[in-house]
Structure 1
Amino acid sequence: MDEKALFVGFWTNESQTTRKVLSRIPEGSTYKPDPKSRTAHDIAWQIVCEEKMLIEAMESGVAEWAPPPLPATMAEVLASYDAQSAGLPERWAALPNERWTGTMDFFGSIRPAAPMAWSFLFDIVHHRGQISTYLRPMGSTVPQIYGPSADEP
């Protein structure tokens, strides 16, 4: 298995787990653990926007960060995630090898593309982890992520 195929497999599995975590964010919650922190709703939207930015940067060779405004509801965030995620494994698989092994313009800095893809995948997993720590204080439950949770043994 080549590195890109390995990445596509990880991406696909991680996005399914991310969807489970996002689906547990209670509608209307404004919980944040600290005044400097963002809400789970805000972080969820960042994940949606990062995933979109990354695949577009890998396809075009140029990263552009211009996220649309935060949707008013978590239902809208989740619907956006679902719509976007549906086609991402195919887009990753169809990405030409020269894009994967090439470079991208990352906000004025030329970077190797494949390591940037892995880095963003790990960043998305990190933000998903932030959200998972918010779930119980928001009155929700934590799904299984890499194994059982207290809520899903």
Structure 2
Amino acid sequence: MYRNITDFLNDWKYESENTAKVFSMITHQSRQTVLNENVRSLERLAWHLSQTITDFGYRSGLLTSDPLDKQPIPESMTALTAIYQDYAEQFAKAVHSKWTDSSLTDEVDMYGSPWTKGTLLRILITHQSHHRGQMTIIMRMLGLAVPGVYGPTKEEWAGMGIPAQE
């Protein structure tokens, strides 16, 4: 659970920038590929992360509506990424302007359960990290490069002239 706004905003900036970086490496050809019926496409996962921002924002009172609810997936990853980045920024600004450190222990109704605002912020970050991890595995399976998020990728190690760890 987050106990101060600044810590969340710092983490959110890092995490949302890296999520957009992952989105930017998804090709037009690979975005709709479904590996099997139990695995979402890359664009569906990217759109889910975008919709989660507005859903959490609306349910918690940070946003007055959920503008992405029932909206179709944009036609390009460029458009989807721009929408994601816009709402990630709007979410951060709303947290900064509407919540305080002391309000992070206040509860909001999330899907029929009481969550503290600090818990909601933690879940938003971990939910995004979870799905971003799924996306990078799918990207690897499709032969796409992936960016390093919490450390260099194999390709980034090679670019530094260092053998990748096994």
- Normalised by the length of structure 2, the TM-score is 0.79
Shift of 1:133: 0.8
Aligned to 2:76: 73
Aligned to 2:6: 5
Aligned to 2:105: 101
Q: Does 62-71 or 9-18 show the bigger shift?
A: 62-71
Q: Does 10-19 or 86-95 show the bigger shift?
A: 86-95
Aligned to 2:45: 43
Q: Which runs of 4+ in 1 moved over 4 A?
A: 60-65
Shift of 1:60: 4.5
Q: Are the aligned partners of 1:58 and 1:99 in contact in 2 as well (CA < 8 Å)?
A: no
Task: Provide, for residues 101-126 of structure 1, a one-character-per-residue CA deviation record: whole Å limited to 9, x for no partner.
Answer: 21111133332221122112101110
Q: How does 1:1-153 map to 2 (within 5 A)?
A: 3-29=4-30, 30-60=32-62, 66-97=69-100, 99-153=103-157
Whose Rg is larger? Answer: 2
Task: Provide, for residues 58-115 of structure 1, a one-character-per-residue CA deviation record: whole Å limited to 9, x for no partner.
Answer: 3359997934222222222112112223444322222322643211111333322211
Shift of 1:56: 3.1
Question: In 1, distance between residues paired with 2:63 and 2:45?
Answer: 25
Question: Which runs of no fewer than 5 residues in structure 1 stay unpaired?
Answer: none
Shift of 1:152: 1.9
- Normalised by the length of structure 1, the TM-score is 0.84
Aligned to 2:163: none
Q: Specify the code of the residue in structure 2 equivalent to 1:82.
A: Q
Shift of 1:145: 0.6
Identity percentage of aligned residues: 23
Question: In 2, distance between residues paired with 1:61 and 1:20?
Answer: 25
Q: Specify the code of the residue in structure 2 equivalent to 1:10.
A: D
Task: Provide, for residues 24-49 of structure 1, a one-character-per-residue CA deviation record: whole Å limited to 9, x for no partner.
Answer: 11113233333211101100000011
Q: Specify the code of the residue in structure 2 equivalent to 1:109.
A: S
Aligned CA-pair RMSD: 2.6
